[in-house]
Amino acid sequence: MKQLLLVFVGGGFGSMARFILSKHFNSTTNGIPYGTFLANVLGSLLIGIILGLALKNDTLNQNQTLLLATGFCGGFTTFSTFAYENHNFLKSGDFTSFFIYTVASFILGFAAVFLGMYLTKV
């Protein structure tokens, strides 16, 4: 139960941070989501730092990792996890899984958004 609460709290703060970035940096005039892009890139950097510290020298314990990586980065952006998982594929030399996972994620992700928009008639 404690672990769920840590993820919940971290996710809440991550979501608020993403909202603030989006409010301040997403362009309403040209539609370019600079805030979202910034959140995705920063989230990728953060999850790399957090998991790198957790794995390298046990600087972070499991609860801290859940709060920061799973919670905060998960709420801030899911792209950070996607980037980290692809890093692991490339690091291990598993280029086939990297390619399939990346292409499938993009295609299915976009398809799911379009399907959801279609189903809600937006």
**pLDDT 10s digit of each residue in the chain, 122 long?**
999 999 999 999 999 999 999 899 987 777 778 888 899 899 999 999 999 888 887 789 999 999 999 999 999 997 888 898 899 999 999 999 999 999 999 899 889 888 988 888 75
CA distance 80 to 24: 21
Angle, alpha carbons 37-14-26 (nearest 5°): 30
Beta bridge partners of 33: 26
3-state helix, strand, coil in the chain (%, to 5): 85, 0, 15
pLDDT at 5: 98
pLDDT at 12: 97
Q: What percent of the chain has pLDDT over 90?
A: 61
Measure Cα distances from 32 to 41, 45, 94, 118, 122 in Å. 15, 21, 34, 22, 19
Amino acid at site 34: Y
Amino acid at site 53: L
CA distance 110 to 122: 15
**pTM above the 0.85 mark?**
no
C-beta separation of 98 from 82 below 8 A:
no
CA distance 98 to 68: 25
